Structure 1
Amino acid sequence: MHTGAVGETAAELVVAAAAVVERGRLLVVSKHAAPDLFYLPGGKPEPGESLRAALERELREELGVAPSSATPLTEVRATAALEGVPMRLVVFRADLVGRPVPAAEIAALRWTGAAVSPELNLAPAVRNHVLPLVL
């Protein structure tokens, strides 16, 4: 189904996400719908919304914070871990104003280092593509 989001086709999910790194650790979150799977905070743009605006909105809604900076880091094409469909993940390196706290659909947040704990189930796009770039 086509949602009309920026750059999204009927077969591709487009997501703007934040790679937030503090003290050598990457911020990851899980949703109530899949509490055992961790991925980057962010989400899908609304119709007519830019990726940067979507990122800012999602960070406010999900974590109660705003980015003080957000610069393009990478773009990953992979299968979305939750939806199982092709995804274009546009990742911004971001610094936050405020302390992130889980809200809305976010069940939990964690900080992970380069040596990922075996019990932390990271989404493959985060583990294989983003983590090596930032840590």
Structure 2
Amino acid sequence: MEQVHAAVSSSARSGPLLVVAAAVVQDGRLLVVSKKAAPEIFYLPGGKPDAGEGARETLIREFEEELGVQPLDPQFLADVEAVAALEGVPMRMTVFRARLGGTPFPAAELARMRWVSGHEEGLQLAPAVRDHVLPLLRQRGVLAG
């Protein structure tokens, strides 16, 4: 039934699914989270904007809801286009670099969080993270190659 719902909602929407997320790197490792709906797939923390909400507002709200922390000094990193891992529809993700204002913990719809290099055995990353964000962070020297 969820597959049908996703197909209906994507056909009603014009353009790609819009998402705002942040790449948080500490000690050479990237913070990734998984959702209860798909606990084996890891994403950047963030989410979809509410009506009339700007990218930074979305980021602040999502970080407070899902991780219990504020994103500090978010700086635009890139706009990434990929297929959304959970919804299976085209997605445009605005990615910021940010630091954390506190110790994060998974809340709301999150199942888990972890700090990764991207080279962990068996780690399933969402396509946007695996194919776009990790290479960009490595290119900029933020993550080890």
Give 1:12 deviation, angstroms. Answer: 1.2
**Which residue of 23, 29, 32 corresponds with 2:33?**
29
2:82 maps to 1:78:
yes
Matched with 2:134 is: 131
2:90 maps to 1:92:
no
Give 1:27 deviation, angstroms. Answer: 0.3
For each residue in 1:10-65, what CA deviation from the matched residue of structure 2 results, as whole angstroms up to 9, or x when unmatched?
Answer: 24100000100000000000000000000100000000000110011000000000
Matched with 1:49 is: 53
Q: Does structure 2 conserve the Cα–Cα contact (< 8 Å) formed by 1:19 and 1:92?
A: yes
Q: State the alpha-carbon separation in 2 of the partners of residues 119 and 77 from structure 1.
A: 24
Structure richer in helix, relative to its length: 2
- RMSD, aligned CA: 1.2
**Which residue of 103, 110, 114 corresponds with 2:114?**
110
Q: Does structure 2 conserve the Cα–Cα contact (< 8 Å) formed by 1:11 and 1:85?
A: no
Q: Percent identity?
A: 60
Paired residues, number: 128
TM-score, length of structure 2 as denominator length:
0.85
Q: State the alpha-carbon separation in 1 of the partners of residues 17 and 27 from structure 2.
A: 31
2:16 maps to 1:12:
yes
TM-score, length of structure 1 as denominator length:
0.91
Q: State the alpha-carbon separation in 1 of the partners of residues 71 and 120 from structure 2.
A: 27
Q: State the alpha-carbon separation in 2 of the partners of residues 111 and 57 from structure 1.
A: 21
Give 1:133 deviation, angstroms. Answer: 1.8
Q: State the alpha-carbon separation in 2 of the partners of residues 128 and 78 from structure 1.
A: 9
Give 1:120 deviation, angstroms. Answer: 1.0
Structure 1 residue ranges (4+ consecutive) displaced by more than 4 angstroms after TM superposition:
none
Unaligned ranges ≥5, structure 2? 1-8, 138-142
- SS of the equivalent of 1:70 reads strand
Instruction: State the one-letter code of the partner of 1:132.
Output: P
Instruction: State the one-letter code of the partner of 2:62.
Output: E
- SS of the equivalent of 1:56 reads helix
